[in-house]
A and B are shown apart, each in its own frame.
Chain A
Amino acid sequence: MTSQTQSAIRFDNVSKSFGNVKAVDQANLEIRDGEFFSLLGPSGSGKTTCLRMIAGFEVPTSGHIYLYGQDVSNLPPYERDVNTVFQDYALFPHMSVGDNIAYGLMVKGVPKSERTKRVDEMLELVQLTGYADRKPSQLSGGQRQRVALARALINHPKVLLLDEPLGALDLKLRQQMQVELKAIQKRVGITFIFVTHDQEEALTMSDRIAVFNEGKIVQVGTPAEIYEHPATAFVAGFVGTSNLVSGEVAKRITGREIRFSIRPEKIHMGTMDTKIEADSYSADGVVRDVIYLGLYTRYLIELNGGGDLVVVEQNLKTTSMDVLKVKGQPVRLHWKKEHIREVGGS
């Protein structure tokens, strides 16, 4: 039992079906107390369904969900010590910002003076001091987002759920909110569970990440583990970009019947007379395409004898004129053997 109380959330063989569709398939997961944990995956991968099961909006078809050791699988949302920041914020349009934030306290019967005090604290936490009397319709997207956050935090939930909360914000604001969310989480010390399809966002913010695909959790780990050691070809492709090499081509390069992934930035591109060290693999080819992206350039190399690889090089000394000249040239690619990841099926 002690191991159960250690974890904030534990999924024990949780499945959820909608009709014939298995949205979540036999999920096992442990989220630690105080962690910033992301559920990452493409849309329809089951990550949001998992979040909704923690919140209590969906009931698992089978399996159990534990919140700090307590089985909450069948509890209604209002009996769980968990709050949610919704994707569309779901602010109550007929209430002021202050009343929105105080809602959780109001329905619990907390007296008005106490409510006002705690609303002010929350407004300060999300940097909206003085906005209590405004209506949600008078706020910008970023401000609404902060109100939604304050409203969800005022009850001091054991776990805060965030359902793609940054999706509707523009890039600059999103990056700013990423930093701020992380800071707020540090301050309040509450376990955050964050759903996103944006791998960069997940890598930036999370202590650990669970990668979802087709209703299954395919890998759980720290951002570095997931990036450096993708467990499957899917993870390698979804988190960052990756070259996935299999079959004939893989055999030709490594001499073994394997399937591996290699990050484009790990591959070096040289002239045909480049010497290959013993600790490296190599492959010769022709530059088929050059995409100049300012900070770096992406090359598509067609390998001699079939297959292709994407290579990325920073434009440290080169200009766009230089890199474009490379198109059509024969090149020799090489990379350290230790940088490939052998991956299983899909």
Chain B
Amino acid sequence: MPSNVSYGQKASWGLTLAAWGGLLFLHVPILIIFLYTLTPDETTYTFPLPGITFKWFGVALQRADLWRALTLSLQVAAVATVIALVLGTLAAAAVYRSKFFGREAVSFLLVLPIALPGIVTGIALRTSIGALDIPFSYWTIVVGHATFCVVVVYNNVLARFRRMQGSQIEASMDLGANAFQTFRYVVFPNIATALLAGGMLAFALSFDEVIVTTFTAGQQTTLPIWIFSQLTRPRDRPVTNVVALFVMLITFLPIFFAQKITAQSSDTEGGSK
């Protein structure tokens, strides 16, 4: 019997069911987090909820340890992102523009941290930082995060460079622009959206990173680590859920915009970890 399958035709009910099943499996747990921000019960999670309360939002606002952790996380993410933007762009430009001995190796080594398990990166950093007698601090966290943030920017910018007409740079110089003007008026506008997308992804990656942070932090507690410690010694348990909800929103927005931007200009390599 000839089948008349065409695009736009309705999918079979089995496929529809499987698709919805998959989506629910991925997103129902997130809804549950939201649900338990409203529970009045402070040590255990029971279902159905014994009642509904918004007091945990107020409690979360009062917790100084939480605010310290959030501020630290934002700072680390911001600085790691800036470092990633500068180094990632420079590395991409070098790999794109010039052929030098070991170019492929450099490219590979740059991308490696994103493929390596965080635990390996973490232990490697901890060992070397310890061996060099550098005190664990805010900056060791930043360096730890930068290792994988650089990759995200590097990949995005390199992909953009490869799509850019090389003769544009020559045309700019030919018309009398020096290197700085050429960067400002021609190169930067060409890679701007790639930088924005890469930067946002880098920020999101850094903001929720746990493993590398555990190994590179001293006494500091970033937000994800704070949440983690909340699970092991619960106090006002639903506060964790409130925080989780906010983390989700903070992470969601940059990823959402990064996707929008790259969808418009349609390509990134290795966009996610």
Contacts and interface: CB of A to CB of B under 8 A. Distances in A.
Contacts of A82: 174
Interface string A161-194: 0000000000000000000000000000000000
Given A77-B173, A78-B173, A94-B190, A86 B167 contact: yes
Contacts of A84: 170-171, 174
Contact of A107 (B167, B168, B170, B181): B181
A103 B190 CA distance: 16
Given A84-B171, A86-B167, A90-B167, A78 B186 contact: no
A108 B186 CA distance: 15
A199 interface: no
Contacts of B174: 55-57, 77-78, 82-84, 152
Contact of B175 (A57, A87, A93, A155): A155
Interface string A79-113: 00011101110111110000000011011100000
Nearest to A99: B185
A151 interface: yes
B167 A104 contact: no
Contacts of A94: 189-190
Interface string B19-34: 0000000000000000
B176 A107 contact: yes
A151 B177 CA distance: 13
Contacts of A106: 185
B166 to A, nearest CB: 9
A87 B170 CA distance: 12
B172 interface: yes
Given A94-B189, A94-B190, A155 B168 contact: no
A77 B181 CA distance: 13
Interface in B114-136: none
B175 A83 contact: yes
Contacts of B175: 78, 83, 103-104, 107, 151-152, 155
Interface residues on A, range: 20 to 34
A96 to B, nearest CB: 12
Contacts, number: 67
Contacts of A90: 165, 167-168, 170-171
A88 B164 CA distance: 12
A237 B192 CA distance: 51
A328 interface: no
Nearest to A163: B167
| SS of B interface (majority) | helix
A76 interface: yes
Contacts of B181: 107
A103 B173 contact: no
A78 B179 CA distance: 9
A78 B176 contact: yes
B165 A107 contact: no
B6 interface: no
Nearest to B175: A104
Contacts of A155: 175-176
B4 interface: no
Nearest to B186: A92
B232 interface: no
B178 interface: yes
Interface string B141-179: 000000000000000000000000101101111111110
Contacts of A152: 174-175
Contacts of A151: 171, 175
Contacts of A104: 175-176
Given A78-B177, A78-B178, A94-B190, A107 B185 contact: yes
A315 B170 CA distance: 50
Nearest to A106: B185
A76 B167 contact: no
B176 A108 contact: yes
A92 B174 CA distance: 13
A84 B241 CA distance: 62
A91 B173 CA distance: 13
Contacts of B170: 55, 57, 77, 84, 86, 90
Interface of B: 165, 167-168, 170-178, 181, 185-186, 189-190
13 contacts: A55-B170, A76-B173, A77-B174, A86-B171, A91-B171, A92-B186, A94-B189, A103-B175, A107-B175, A107-B178, A107-B181, A107-B185, A151-B175
| CB-CB nearest 3 A-B residue pairs | A90-B167, A90-B171, A104-B175
Given A87-B167, A103-B172, A106-B185, 5 more contacts: A76-B173, A88-B165, A90-B165, A91-B171, A108-B176
